[in-house]
């Protein structure tokens, strides 16, 4: 479903990704483990179409992303890819529920079914009481869970998570990873998590290691 062929990425003469090839099946769950600076975020941005590779090919569902223009990529991204990043950016001036409903709003979809899904996911994650509040009125852990709901609201084919547990203690980080796995399974999404945290990685049966811009397992 996701196929990377010899992806390279350089910033000027700094070679960050040095030829990455990877196949991830539809609905698979995997973790990419690597130390800080190994190229994890760069790889995830390229996978998420937020940045372009210097060379190499990315196919998602046999569609060659390199052949899409920016407008096509933006549409593809909104419809197919959910992002959970360590520094979650909920818009401060609207409620959590309105934040969650942004992706369907941007797609011009009718909101009623998404409100229903929001309520279901909020109940599942224990943040029903947060929906009508503004982001500043809830805790960091609650914001993180709202962010996860927003990432999942369009039932993305692919869920990409960059250090999703970066600012959580180990008990909560284990919980968040379990939730990501359970929800991806339930919604039929492919899950890719990148982390430097060995404990997070141990929660996955498929573990890929990145070192200095290359996959080594
Ligand atoms: P990780 O997420 O594994 O910590 P990154 O992918 O963020 O690593 O970064 C890998 C390397 O690429 C680092 O050395 C970083 O400084 C460099 N890098 C990342 N983005 C840029 C950029 N926009 N310009 C220059 N260098 C960058
Ligand atoms: Mg990073």
Q: Where are the domains of the chain?
A: 2-215
Give, for ligand 1, the residue of 15, 40, 42, 215 to mutate: max count of ligand atoms closer than 8 Å to Cβ.
Answer: 42
**What are the two backbone dihedrals, phi and then psi, of residue 169, each rounded to the nearest 5 degrees?**
-75, 170
Q: How confident is the model at residue 87 (pLDDT cuts 50, 70, 90)?
A: low
Query: Which ligand lies nearest the alpha carbon of 45?
Result: 1
In words, the CATH class of domain 2-215 is alpha beta
Looking at 98-176, which runs of residues are DSSP E strands? 158-162
Cβ within 8 Å of residue 182, ≥6 positions away? none
Q: Which helix (H) or strand (E) holds 46?
A: helix 40-47
3-state secondary structure of 72: helix
Query: Which ligand lies nearest the alpha carbon of 34?
Result: 1
Residue nearest to atom 24 of ligand 1 (CA): 11
Cβ within 8 Å of residue 176, ≥6 positions away? 144, 145, 148, 164, 165, 168
Contact by Cβ (8 Å): 71, 79: no
Note the pLDDT tens digit of each residue in 119-169: 999 998 899 999 999 999 998 888 888 998 999 999 999 999 999 887 677
Q: What is the pLDDT of residue 189?
A: 94
Q: DSSP assignment, residue 86?
A: S
Question: Which tokens in the block code for residue 97?
Answer: 């529920």
């Amino acid at each position: 479903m996701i196929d990377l062929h010899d992806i390279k990425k350089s910033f000027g003469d700094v070679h960050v990704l040095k030829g990455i090839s990877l196949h991830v099946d539809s609905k698979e769950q995997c973790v990419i483990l690597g130390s800080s600076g190994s190229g994890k975020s760069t790889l995830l941005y390229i996978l998420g179409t937020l940045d372009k590779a210097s060379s190499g090919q990315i196919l998602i569902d046999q569609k060659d992303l390199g052949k899409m223009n920016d407008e096509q990529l933006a549409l593809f991204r909104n419809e197919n890819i959910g992002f959970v990043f360590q520094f979650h950016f909920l818009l401060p001036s609207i409620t959590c529920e309105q934040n969650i409903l942004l992706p369907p709003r941007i797609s011009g979809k009718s909101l009623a079914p998404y409100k229903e899904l929001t309520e279901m996911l909020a109940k599942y994650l224990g943040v029903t009481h947060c929906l009508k509040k503004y982001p500043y009125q809830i805790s960091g852990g609650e914001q993180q869970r709202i962010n996860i709901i927003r990432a999942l609201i369009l039932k993305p084919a692919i869920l990409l998570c960059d250090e999703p547990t970066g600012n959580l203690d180990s008990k909560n980080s284990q919980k968040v990873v379990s939730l990501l796995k359970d929800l991806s399974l339930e919604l039929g999404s492919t899950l890719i998590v990148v982390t430097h945290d060995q404990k997070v990685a141990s929660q996955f049966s498929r573990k890929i290691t990145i070192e200095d811009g290359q996959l080594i397992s």
